[in-house]
Amino acid sequence: MLNTLKELCLLNGVSGEEDEVRWYLANQARKAAPSVHVRTDAIGNLIVFKKGKKSTGNRLMLAAHMDEVGIIVTRITDEGFLKFDFVGGVDRRVAIGKPVVIGHNKVPGVIGLKAIHLTTKEERKKVPKTESLYIDIGAKDKPSAERLVQLGDYGAFVCEPEEFGDGLFKAKAIDDRVGCAVMLKLLEEDLPLDVTFAFTAQEEVGTRGAFGAAFSVTPEIALVLETTTAAGLPGVESHRRVCAPGKGPVISYMDGSAIYDRELFETLRRLSEENGIPWQTKEYIAGGNDARTIQRAKAGVRVAAMSAATRYLHAPASVGSVADFEHMLQLTRLFLAEMAQRLEEGIKIERE
């Protein structure tokens, strides 16, 4: 799975322009299971249905988002620099000096700021506002820049995926290419029941794609495969560290936008403990993901979430644990088997 994750993290798919990622996922899904039904909806979600041993239709959905945070070009200055805004929540403190590529031609650039020797003492105390930043693409003037870049072009961060340290992995867009990688791996396998895989668009700008996906699929249960903020770092109070890479998948009971189905939470917890899979939960209620939108579709959906604890989310480079990624895959397999077993025994997976 790690090689697939590396390939996915090299692709650019800023919210609203997930084409490159969607094409790769659709192609890989068809290779993994030629009989799958693949479709793309109006907002850009990739919906893949694969039949399993137990025929259940669209009752169970797995979801992971394709998109990543990035930038969008808003103006070109007379000097040939690009003014821009962020797409999704990016910490401006970590963007300065970082390399980016712009547009379909992947024009290289660097996010810049006024030189430090030109700033005042007061300016140096503050986080720069987005409007004070620019992208340097090496153009000598506006006409030269316009030959390379257009207004509205997207830009993505540049980071070479690599393993390092004590079983850790760094890359841009781990959020949420790890969920996509888990689902691709499952598509290669014989499934115990029918599963709809929703690779969603525009999660980073308000979980927009998940609404259309859940509305059209109409599942009874959805498991969201995600990443979540890990803050186990020097100087952070223990109760605010949320979770930590290497301690297993994060099984959520609540976050900043959803209260998860308690019975599904207990199922994931029990399966972890019975099968020797380390697990953790959030020690601080914050964040959110596609579950908040899926949960509210039509008459409502029972939702659960499993995430990889990841440091530096929405930064040019994020860090997660390879073991956590593998345990997410293993626990998702067990969850699917559990749902199939319940149906086999005539136990309803929807609420009475």
Catalytic positions, written as ranges: 203
- ∠ CA 136-142-143, nearest 5°, is 125
**Tokens of residue 291, six digits:** 């579950």
Q: What is the 3-state secondary structure (H, E, C) of the chain?
A: CHHHHHHHHHCCCECCCCHHHHHHHHHHHHHHCCCCEEEECCCCCEEEEECCCECCCCCEEEEEECCECEEEEEEECCCCCEEEEEECCCCHHHCCCCEEEECCCCEEEEEECCCHHHCCCCHHHCCCCHHHCEEECCCCCHHHHHCCCCCCCEEEECCCCEEECCCEEEECCHHHHHHHHHHHHHHCCCCCECEEEEEECCHHHCCHHHHHHHHHHCCCEEEEEEEEECCCCCCCCHHHCCCCCCCCCEECCECCCCECCHHHHHHHHHHHHHCCCCCECCCCCCCCCCHHHHCCCCCCCEEEEEEEEEECCCCCCEEEEHHHHHHHHHHHHHHHHHHHHHHHCCCCCCCC
Closest by CA to 261, choosing from 296, 301, 298, is 301
Q: Report the relative pairing of strands 195-200 and 46-50 from DSSP bridges.
A: antiparallel
A 10 A CB-CB count for 168 gives 17
